[in-house]
């Protein structure tokens, strides 16, 4: 069972890592938010221990980004007790548990075990952006009351955009995530499919959910469009 520890205080990080290894966990350590996010995205961890106060990107930020990218690995947040950061916010963002520093080591281990056992919650079956709804389990899509007839590829593309609603998603990311990691064909395929989508989900309803971000990619406004 692998654990990712994202913590900038080197001493604490090392101590936690050593202790967890002794308990039989495999441990990865990241010293700042950016590398922490990378490691977390690469996946394979049963639990993530995430400090809130971090150089680079805060723990909040990392957590938000993770969930936005559909990564549902359980996260245990670490806070200093000075209360500058609100743990409630973290839980809102999708943290699964938290500990206030300093903490007894055994408590950390127990909480991690509990989180790991509980496992990663199912990814939400439903994506909602304004009156656009995707049911990923049923593979159905609606604009308001109207069901949309999307092909598999169109559905996958829309799913990815809605999963990162509010973000400008680079065309390269769409290519590698919706198509293939090493897609060899014409990258223009993304534009073609964006066109298909707009004709199905926007034009008939006089809407403009999918914005073009010139030179970057596309964005679905979190507030809807």
Binding site for DNA (CB under 7 A): 18, 21-22, 24, 149, 151-154, 171, 179, 184-186, 188-189, 191-192, 194-195, 198, 212-217
Rounded Cα–Cα distance for residues 153 and 133 (Å): 17
Residue among 83 and 104 whose Cβ is closer to DNA: 104
Q: What is the SS3 string spanning 179-209? A: HCCCCCCCCHHHHHHHHHHHHHHHHHHCCCC
- What is the sign, positive or negative, of the torsion defined by CA atoms of 42, 44, 69, 9? negative
Angle at 129 between CA 187 and CA 68, to 5 degrees: 65
User: Which stretch in 38-46, 74-82, 95-103, 208-216 sits in contact with a copy of itself by CB under 8 A?
Assistant: 208-216
Residue 138 binding partner per list a copy of itself, DNA, none, with a CB distance cut-off of 5 to 8 Å that depends on partner kind? a copy of itself
Q: Does 168 bind a copy of itself (CB under 8 A)?
A: yes
Which residue has tokens 């308990």?
A: 23
Smallest gap, in angstroms, from Cβ of residue 216 to DNA?
6
Handedness of CA 118, 122, 123, 129 (dihedral sign): negative
As measured in angstroms, the least distance from the Cβ of 22 to DNA is 6
x-or-dash string of contact with a copy of itself, 90-119, rule CB under 8 A: ---------------------------x--
The answer to whether 167 contacts a copy of itself (rule: CB under 8 A) is yes
Residue-wise DSSP of 107-133: HHHHHHHHHHHH-PPPPPSEEEETTEE
Q: How far is the CB of 35 from a copy of itself (least distance, A)?
A: 22
139 binds, among a copy of itself, DNA, none (CB under 5 to 8 A by kind): a copy of itself
A 10 A CB-CB count for 99 gives 17
* Residue 166 lies near a copy of itself (rule: CB under 8 A): yes
Residue 41 makes contact with a copy of itself by CB under 8 A? no
Choice from 146, 151, 172, 176 touching a copy of itself (CB under 8 A): 151
Q: Considering the rule CB under 8 A, would residue 138 count as an interface residue with a copy of itself?
A: yes
- What are the beta bridge partners of residue 152? none
Torsion, Cα of 199, 200, 206, 208 (10° steps): -80
Residues forming contacts to a copy of itself in the complex (CB under 8 A) are 70, 117, 137-139, 151-153, 166-168, 213-216, 219
């Amino acid at each position: 069972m692998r654990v990712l520890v994202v913590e900038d205080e080197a001493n604490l990080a090392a101590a936690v890592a050593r202790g967890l290894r002794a308990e039989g966990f495999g441990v990865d350590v990241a010293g700042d938010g950016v590398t922490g996010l990378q490691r977390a995205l690469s996946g394979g961890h049963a639990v993530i221990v995430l400090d809130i106060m971090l150089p680079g990107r805060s723990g909040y930020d990392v957590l938000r980004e993770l969930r936005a990218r559909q990564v549902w690995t359980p996260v245990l947040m670490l806070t200093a007790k000075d209360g500058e950061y609100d743990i409630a916010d973290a839980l809102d963002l999708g943290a699964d548990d938290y500990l206030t520093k300093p903490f007894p080591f055994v408590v950390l281990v127990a909480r991690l075990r509990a989180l790991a056992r509980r496992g990663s919650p199912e990814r939400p079956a439903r994506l909602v952006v304004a009156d656009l709804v995707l049911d990923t389990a049923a593979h159905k899509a609606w604009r308001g009351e109207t069901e949309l007839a999307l092909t598999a590829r169109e559905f996958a593309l829309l799913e990815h955009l809605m999963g990162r609603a509010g973000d400008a998603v680079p065309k390269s990311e769409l290519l590698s995530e919706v198509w293939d990691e090493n897609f060899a064909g014409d990258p223009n395929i993304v534009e073609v499919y964006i066109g298909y989508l707009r004709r199905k989900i926007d034009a008939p309803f006089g809407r403009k959910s999918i914005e073009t971000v010139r030179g970057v990619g596309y964005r679905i406004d979190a507030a809807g469009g």
